[in-house]
């Protein structure tokens, strides 16, 4: 069955909306999302609702390990054949793993779509995970973990999330630990795929210049006979966290700091408000409030930024900065001063208008990145079974009030609920 959906309502193709898309659902539950684009370049992705939070205890890093191994041998292709299949025609193939998703994506010339769909089907459903490839990739991932540990600005965020979700899989590093990765085996891999790669939670998304019949024909040819996997996983919501301040001495030259709290889930009524507030505060580039106050006005930190990541049942809000040790205390005080302003007083009418205009403009410009757009649309389909149009996104942002932002600030930026993590240079 083929239909067009926007905001969970059936719409006609004639509506002039930038995020119009079409869906084709196979009998095994897999969904093929197609968004027309007149470009000669095609972007496509495979997205499955399986990530690091779905790993069992002592199996940390398994979802990411599988993502790497999907590019190794299959029942009919060697590793070299997999890697060359798209690169030999100038296409780009890559993948990543998050706490809740695994994504494989490719950018290619229009005429190579079938070659790409064929490869996706092969590596996703016919990988063999040979022992020699497993051992090679284990070494690669252990090196990847070591490289992250050597980057304090990366490592501190991972450690912060582990404190924020202590004892829960969400808090674990997506790469895993060296100890866990060393123990992972083929049985672990096959068990994880069987338990988490539910075909009804898989989406193949394509953005390109095709007739819809071509997309549906390829979907039937390559995915129509894939057996349905209806395994249902149960994600456990994390328990209450423990606020506090944590300081660790490291072999580093600067002090690195993360200040943050649990935040709203992707379905929470305040999500859009926090996205707007986060953009205004520290995620909106050089003109963000934190950057203007701490870098431009006081000249303290080269990098200061905030981040908000909504998940299905919780969220993460954090502020990061790195600076010289003698300036770290002042930088932290200035951060808390800005947060207190937001808790104590509503944004003025002009400030709120400017914040909305800036955020809406950035979202509109981001739509030019068609790969990012098609992945975002696929995620929305997985999470909400629908995709908002740009007009609907903008309407939600414009509906945010100053009173709502004040409420959000007092919930998320509550000093008594914050975790502060510092990496300081060893004396």
pLDDT at 383: 94
CA–CA separation, 187 vs 203, rounded Å?
25
Q: What is the DSSP string of 193-242?
A: HHHH--GGGEEEEEEES--HHHHHHHHHHHHTTSPP------PPPP----
What integer pLDDT is reported at residue 19 of this predicted model?
57
* pLDDT computed for residue 3 by the predictor: 32
Beta bridge partners of 255: 323
Domains of the chain: 2-223 (3.30.830.10), 244-425 (3.30.830.10)
Name the one residue in this structure whose structure tokens are 């209450």: 240
Q: What is the per-residue pLDDT for 234? A: 85
- CA dist., res. 50 & res. 17, Å (int): 30
Its pTM stands at 0.92
pLDDT in tens, the chain (427 residues): 333 333 333 222 222 334 589 999 999 999 999 999 999 999 999 999 999 999 999 999 999 999 999 999 999 999 999 999 999 999 999 999 999 999 999 999 999 999 999 999 999 999 999 999 999 999 999 999 999 888 999 999 999 999 999 999 999 999 999 999 999 999 999 999 999 999 999 999 999 999 999 999 999 999 999 999 998 888 999 999 999 999 999 999 999 999 999 999 999 999 999 999 999 999 988 999 999 999 999 999 999 999 999 999 999 999 999 999 999 999 999 999 999 999 999 999 999 999 999 999 999 998 899 999 999 999 999 999 999 999 999 999 999 999 999 999 999 999 999 999 999 999 7
- Residue 186 parent element (H or E): helix 186-196
List alpha helices for 268-369, DSSP H. 271-278, 289-290, 325-344, 349-366
Q: What 3-state class would DSSP assign to 153? A: helix
Name which of 253, 260, 250 is nearest 421 in CA terms: 260
C-alpha 236/C-alpha 219 separation (Å) is 34
User: What residues contact 372, with CB distance under 8 A and at least 6 apart?
Assistant: 366
Is the separation of the CB atoms in 29 and 198 below 8 Å? Answer: yes
Whole-angstrom Cα distance, residue 192 to residue 231?
Answer: 11
> Exposure of 111 by Cβ count < 10 A (0-12 exposed, 13-18 middle, 19+ buried)?
exposed
């Amino acid at each position: 069955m083929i239909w067009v959906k926007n905001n969970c309502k059936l719409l006609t193709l004639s509506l002039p909306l930038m995020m119009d898309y079409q869906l084709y659902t196979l009998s095994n539950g897999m969904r093929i999302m197609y968004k027309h684009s007149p470009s000669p370049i095609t972007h496509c992705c495979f997205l499955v609702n399986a990530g690091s939070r779905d790993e069992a205890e002592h199996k940390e890093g398994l979802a990411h390990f599988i993502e790497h191994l999907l590019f190794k041998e299959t029942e009919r292709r060697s590793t070299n054949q997999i890697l060359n299949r798209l690169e030999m025609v100038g296409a780009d193939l890559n993948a990543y793993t998050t706490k809740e998703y695994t994504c494989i994506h490719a950018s290619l010339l229009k005429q190579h779509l079938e070659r790409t769909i064929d490869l996706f089907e092969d590596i996703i459903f016919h990988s063999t995970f040979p022992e020699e490839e497993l051992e090679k990739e284990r070494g690669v991932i252990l090196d990847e973990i070591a490289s992250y540990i050597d980057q304090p600005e990366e490592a501190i965020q991972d450690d912060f999330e582990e404190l924020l979700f202590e004892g829960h899989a969400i808090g674990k590093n997506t790469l895993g630990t060296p100890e866990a990765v060393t123990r992972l085996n083929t049985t672990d891999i096959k068990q994880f795929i069987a338990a988490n790669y539910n075909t009804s939670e898989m989406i193949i998304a394509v953005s390109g210049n095709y007739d819809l019949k071509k997309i549906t024909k390829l979907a039937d040819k390559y995915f129509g006979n894939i057996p349905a996997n209806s395994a249902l996983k149960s994600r456990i919501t994390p328990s209450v966290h423990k606020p506090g301040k944590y300081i660790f001495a490291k072999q580093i030259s600067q002090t690195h700091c993360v200040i943050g709290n649990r935040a709203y889930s992707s379905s929470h009524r305040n999500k859009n408000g926090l996205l707007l507030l986060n953009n205004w505060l520290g995620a909106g580039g050089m003109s963000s409030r934190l950057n203007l106050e701490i870098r431009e006005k006081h000249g303290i930190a080269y990098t200061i930024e905030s981040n908000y990541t909504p998940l299905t049942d919780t969220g993460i809000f954090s502020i990061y900065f790195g600076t010289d040790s003698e300036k770290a205390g002042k930088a932290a005080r200035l951060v808390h001063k800005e947060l207190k302003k937001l808790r104590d007083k509503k944004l003025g009418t002009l400030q709120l208008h400017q914040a909305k205009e800036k955020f809406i403009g950035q979202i509109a410009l981001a739509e030019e990145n068609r790969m990012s757009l098609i992945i975002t649309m696929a995620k929305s389909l997985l999470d909400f079974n629908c995709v908002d149009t740009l007009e609907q996104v903008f309407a939600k942002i414009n509906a945010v009030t100053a009173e709502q932002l004040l409420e959000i600030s007092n919930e998320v930026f509550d000093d008594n609920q914050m975790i502060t993590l510092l990496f300081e240079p060893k004396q």
